[in-house]
Structures are given as C-alpha cells and as structure tokens.
Chain A
C-alpha cells in the first residue's frame, strides 16, 4: 500500500490517512447537513422558525468528541514522527553543506560529491551545515525534511529501503535561485555502494585542483565559467581584465590581478562589482586557505576569452 522508499513512509502516510480521513468525514457531514437544512427549513417550506433552546449537554458533547479525536490525531502524528528523532548508533555519517544554491555531501573517508549516494537498508545520518542562510533538506519520497541553520548543528537520518534515484529539494526560501537548489539521492545496493565508496577519486586526474575546489565550495552556483551571467559575474576572461567596482558607493576601475581576486574572496563586500548586489557573496575568510586561493587563481587564469 505504501511506497516504502524509506522506513518513515509508512508511519507518516498512516498519519495522513487518519487525519485526512477524519477530516473528510467532518467536511462531508457538515456540508451535507448545511445543504439539508437550507432545503428542508427553507422559509417557503418552513415559514416559522422554532425558538432556540440552548442545550448544555450538546455543547459538552461536541466539545469532548473533537477533543478526543484531535488527541488521537496528535498521537498518530507523533508515532509516525518519533523514529525520525531516534538516530541509530551505526548510522553512516555524511556531512551536508548547504550553500546558496547547491548541496555538497562529504563522507567519512573524505570522499565528496554533489549527489547523495547511500546504500540500501542502511541508516544514514546527515549532519547539516550552512555557512550562509537557512536552507532545508527535503526528500519527498522519504518523507523527511530538516532545516539547515547557520551556527546550529541540526541532524537528520533515514534508512532507504528501495534502490533508485530520488529528488532532493531545498524547502526553505534562500534567495534568488532557491528553486534551483536541487540534487538527487542515489540509493545503491550494498555492493555498488562499496565499490563507489572505495574507488579512487577520478576527478583529480581530469580537473585542475582549483576547479574541483570551486565545485566543492559551490562557487559555480553563482559564477559561471562560460561567460553567462548568474548571480555573480562570470569567471570567463576575468583575469587581467578591467573591472568596474563600487567602493563604499564610489566607482573605481581595477585590474583583476591576484590581489584583487584574493580580496574578492576574502572580503567580497569591500569592492562590489558594478551591477551586482552587495552582501550576497559570503565572506570566505577563515574558510579558504592561501593555498586554495592560489589554486583558484591558477584555474581562473585558464578561463580566457575566446
């Protein structure tokens, strides 16, 4: 009856059925009564209203019955929810970084990906981390959702029960590209998962370190490498070009050299590129090392104008 994509689906869906079921009974019953009264006691058919007699017992009756019903609803809501808060000790920990506007998932052995890859029938614990604003990790098929709050170590967990690929959506408004902050969770068989988990990182062979880093740090959520304008300016042809920036509201022309790029990363709001919003890019000082900045610059240098 239930899809059972995760171990929570059944409890949640039972709660849905019970609450919506009771609600439907009331909705249909009350609507039917309304229509019935309007027809039966229409003033043509029933010209003289009967005087109202208050009925205390009736008042008690229709206070107590709904109270019992809603307490029942609460109970099933709680039962379906409780397992979500009891995290098994053996759950596989994955560190989730939610950032405007992309997800990244890091595993215990340092493996990193923008997709969430998990084995079937094994509990997985997600440690949620956000450097900028609120986000919310939502996997509809699994019936789980928890906000990612800067400064607060929220956790969630689930146990996938069916192999397949499911949507991950961001369910807390986080700015311009909120609706594009999507990812997928891939549920693999234990064997495939282990194969993936233990495989050597092939990325390093294909990409420059700066490029990988840019993916990990989710710079590419805001900066393209092909010249198209996203939230931030494109990196294409940036190096060595003339950039018009606003410093405290005053226009200035600057050559995009090493120093400028470094400053743009560590203190992006001191020199704001004209035509782009201030305050959107987070201050990366403390999160990115000198070496990493060098790698960025090396990579940006390769993105020349054609």
Chain B
C-alpha cells in the first residue's frame, strides 16, 4: 500500500541495502587480513566511506530530501577534510625528532 507520501523506499529496497552493508562489512574485515601495507588504511577508509554514504543516502533519505540538505552535508564534509589536511601540513613535514 503505497500512500500519497511523496517519496518512500520500499521495505524490499531497505533489506537490499542492509545486505549490501553487511557484505561491505565482511569485505573490510577480510581486507584487513590481507596485507595491503600502505594501502590498508586507505582500503578500510574507502569501504567505511562507501558504507557511510549508503546509510546517509538511503537510510537518512538524502536521496529524497531537498537539495539544500545535501549541500550542507557536503560543506560539513569539506570543512572537516580541510581541518585534517591543514593539520597534516604540520605533522607531515616535521623534521624528524632527534
């Protein structure tokens, strides 16, 4: 019974999303046992970000909300990233401590 509420996701879709989240979780656990060395963190964070994106886009309805909320999320993300990047300008270039 789809009602007149503009945008609903069907329960089936929700379950599909849930399954994909579980798969990604297993993937990232598996990946942690393979030695990617330098990439390990990158892989873990990439998968985590994919999961976070799915949660935000479907579960949190960003897909259907007014665009302005999406823009706000983006701005917040960018601001946080600049914090990290600029801080790394310090720590990435510290002369080795003697």
Interface string of A138-152 (1 = CB under 8 A from B): 000000000000001
Q: How many A-B contacts at CB < 8 Å in the complex?
A: 3
- The verdict on A153 contacting chain B, using a C-beta distance below 8 Å, is yes
Residues of the B chain whose Cβ atoms lie less than 8 Å from the Cβ of A152: 97
- CB contacts under 8 Å to B, within A134-192, are 152-153
Chain B min CB distance to A148 (Å): 14
- CB contacts under 8 Å to A, within B14-31, are none
Residues of the A chain whose Cβ atoms lie less than 8 Å from the Cβ of B98: 153
Residues of the A chain whose Cβ atoms lie less than 8 Å from the Cβ of B97: 152-153
Residues of the B chain whose Cβ atoms lie less than 8 Å from the Cβ of A153: 97-98
Q: Please report A residues at the B interface, Cβ cutoff 8 Å.
A: 152-153
- CB contacts under 8 Å to A, within B45-98, are 97-98
A153 and B98 alpha carbons, distance in the complex (Å): 7
Which A-chain residue is minimally distant from B97 (CB atoms)?
A: A153
A152 and B90 alpha carbons, distance in the complex (Å): 13
Chain A min CB distance to B2 (Å): 51
Chain A min CB distance to B75 (Å): 23
Chain A min CB distance to B95 (Å): 9
Which B-chain residue is minimally distant from A127 (CB atoms)?
A: B98
Subset of 3 A-B contacts with CB under 8 Å: A152-B97, A153-B97, A153-B98
Which A-chain residue is minimally distant from B94 (CB atoms)?
A: A152
Chain A min CB distance to B93 (Å): 12
Chain A min CB distance to B90 (Å): 12
Chain A min CB distance to B89 (Å): 15
A152 and B94 alpha carbons, distance in the complex (Å): 10
Which B-chain residue is minimally distant from A151 (CB atoms)?
A: B97
A227 and B27 alpha carbons, distance in the complex (Å): 71
A152 and B97 alpha carbons, distance in the complex (Å): 7
Chain B min CB distance to A86 (Å): 12
Chain B min CB distance to A175 (Å): 25
Which A-chain residue is minimally distant from B98 (CB atoms)?
A: A153
Chain A min CB distance to B98 (Å): 6
Chain A min CB distance to B68 (Å): 27
Chain B min CB distance to A91 (Å): 15
A153 and B97 alpha carbons, distance in the complex (Å): 6
A224 and B98 alpha carbons, distance in the complex (Å): 35
A152 and B98 alpha carbons, distance in the complex (Å): 9
A172 and B98 alpha carbons, distance in the complex (Å): 23
Chain B min CB distance to A256 (Å): 40
Chain A min CB distance to B6 (Å): 40
Chain B min CB distance to A151 (Å): 9
A1 and B97 alpha carbons, distance in the complex (Å): 39
A152 and B95 alpha carbons, distance in the complex (Å): 11
Chain B min CB distance to A66 (Å): 23
